[in-house]
Amino acid sequence: MASPENLEKIVEKHSQIYGLGSEREYFEQPTNRAEYPYRTIPEVMRAAASRYAERAALVYRDGKEEKIIRYEHLDELATAFADSLIRAGAEKGTRVAMILDNSPHWMIANLGIQYAGCVDVPRGSDAPQNILKSILEHSGAEIALIPSLDYIQKLPDQGNNLRMIVVMDPEFRGSSGNITSYIDLLERGLSSIKKNGRQLVDKRISEISGDDLASILYSSGTTGVPKGAMLTHSNYMNNLANIPRGFHADENDRL
């Protein structure tokens, strides 16, 4: 996904990398869920950023060029996005619709949503308008992430009933009413943690438990009203505990 500013440069512009806490054992081969050392998505991501700070977390193409985002930078960008969400009024449990397609920005935003203790409600941008209406209303989404400004036309009531609409197009800047720019949120968040530290986000992360809701995934709705599956942080941790064994994968593999 092309962008006017390389994500690495955004971090370098706010160059201080903050302490990530003590290093812990990471991805041991557990025999059952109880042995897995992490309870939540933010916990396991922070542990990975601490242990594998300089390693590539994401590899993506920007045109013909292959680029990477390192673990320490992915963690910092997620922290910045979470900081901005919290300062904008997002509370623990706030539903955030992600009406987006796959990109590195999707991953940054998704982790930021989890760091803020919110619940992601993902859906591809090609979803029909009636399906979007059903999902947004049923999930109780208060914030929506959309790919471009003109996508607002597809939102119920053109998004006027939402607390905040985040336009993910990196070329869109500024804000108006409940509409704001993803890049601006990242920039404000990075400035905030540079000035104030990570305490705001760290406090929110400390309040998240394994039983808290992390995601609501909806069915396609092709045979009726979309149905939502509710996934907790523990559900994700159970998957992470078993992936290394089930797929014979370790920290040296790309997935």
Helices (H), 88-181: 104-115, 129-139
Residues 108 and 17: their CA atoms lie apart, in Å, by: 16
Quick one: pLDDT band at residue 54, thresholds 50, 70, 90? Answer: very high
- pLDDT confidence of residue 245: 80
3-state secondary structure of 245: helix
Residues 9 and 14: their CA atoms lie apart, in Å, by: 9
Right CATH for 7-18+35-246 from 3.40.50.2300, 3.40.50.12780, 3.40.50.960, 1.10.8.640: 3.40.50.12780
- pLDDT confidence of residue 18: 35
3-state secondary structure of 39: coil
Question: Using one digit for the tens of pLDDT, what is the confidence trace for 153-195?
Answer: 999 999 999 999 999 999 999 999 999 999 999 999 999 999 9
Q: At what angle do helices 199-206 and 71-87 cross, to 10 degrees?
A: 90
Q: Lowest-pLDDT range, 40-44, 55-59, 141-145, 249-253?
A: 249-253
| Cβ(241)–Cβ(33) below 8 Å | yes
Residues 241 and 35: their CA atoms lie apart, in Å, by: 9
- Name the residue ranges covered by the structural domains of the chain: 7-18+35-246
Q: Lowest-pLDDT range, 115-119, 231-235, 249-253?
A: 249-253
Enter the tokens of residue 227: 């149905």
Query: What contacts 240, CB < 8 A, 6 or more positions away?
Result: 27, 36, 38, 44
49-77: b (≥16 Cβ within 10 Å) or e: bbbebeeebbebeeeeeebebbbbbbbbb
Q: At what angle do helices 104-115 and 71-87 cross, to 10 degrees?
A: 60
- Going from the C-alpha of 214 to that of each of 115, 201, 229, 250, the distances in angstroms are 10, 16, 11, 24
Question: Using one digit for the tens of pLDDT, what is the confidence trace for 133-147?
Answer: 999 999 999 999 999
| Model confidence, pTM | 0.86
245 burial class (0-12, 13-18, 19+ CB within 10 angstroms)? exposed
pLDDT at 29 over 50: no
- pLDDT confidence of residue 27: 37
Cβ atoms within 10 Å, residue 242: 15
